Structure 1
Amino acid sequence: SLTEEMQELADTLHNTCVDETGVGEDVIENARKGSFADDDKLRCYMKCLMDQMACIDEDGIIDVDATIAVLPEEYQEKGENIIRKCGTKVGANPCDNAYLTNKCWYETDPD
């Protein structure tokens, strides 16, 4: 599970990106459970989170190594395979890339 520090960081990022995009909490909750709404605010929320962690550039290309580096240690090995396999899923715009890539991670490993 997330350490307290990581949880605080996650909450801060979450709040920043909710403020920035206006996405509904219910939409985020559903996405966490694997139900990705067709919602531009959700797309940009995902990009915002990745932006905050320096895991995506302004063109919406995922920095695979940076993304792996932010994973908690116990997930690194499993996560690395998934993140490398998905790479950047290219959609209509950078927010869409973030969304499609997140979806790919989830579909590759629903846990």
Structure 2
Amino acid sequence: MIGCAAAHDPRSDGEWPPPAILHLGNHFHDICAPNTGVTDEAIKEFSEGQIHEDEALKCYMNCLFHDFEVVDDRGDVHMEKVLNAIPGEKLRNIMMEASKGCIHPEGDTLCHKAWWF
């Protein structure tokens, strides 16, 4: 299943993802990684654009979205919460553009919906 994230080229360099976003995510990573069993290698591969089927990675994303409180109990995305959590207008605009059509993720489970987004 290809979702919204797969429609965009991954980018990882000295400017992206911004250090503020990475720092913000550290706390949630430390909670969600042990809870889902995802490996750091799987996260790294995904971040580098190596999209692969990994149930733990899907559930890790679901955990992140729920801990960031940007999805509801059905897995639907609350874009206003996503955008409010992102520092800086430039980053918000990038996220808004990248997320068009992604409000109601598809999937049979919350993990699959998070993966689709």
TM-score (structure 2 length as normaliser): 0.76
Q: Distance in 2 between matches of 1:52 and 1:22?
A: 16
Instruction: Pick which of 67-76 and 39-48 moved more.
Output: 67-76
Q: Distance in 2 between matches of 1:20 and 1:10?
A: 15
Which one has the bigger helix percentage?
A: 1
**Is residue 95 from structure 1 mapped to residue 111 from structure 2 by the alignment?**
yes
Aligned residue runs from structure 1 range 13-92, under 5 A = 13-73=28-88, 74-92=90-108
Contact 1:61 1:94 in 2 (8 A): no
Q: Distance in 1 between matches of 2:27 and 2:71?
A: 18
Task: Extract unaligned runs of 5+ from structure 2.
Answer: 1-17
**Deviating 4+ runs (over 6 angstroms):** none
Instruction: Pick which of 19-28 and 59-68 moved more.
Output: 59-68
* Letter of the structure 2 residue corresponding to residue 2 of structure 1: P
* Letter of the structure 2 residue corresponding to residue 15 of structure 1: D
Identity in percent: 22
Aligned CA RMSD, in angstroms, stands at 1.5
How many residues end up aligned between the 2 structures?
99
SS of the residue corresponding to residue 85 of structure 1 reads coil
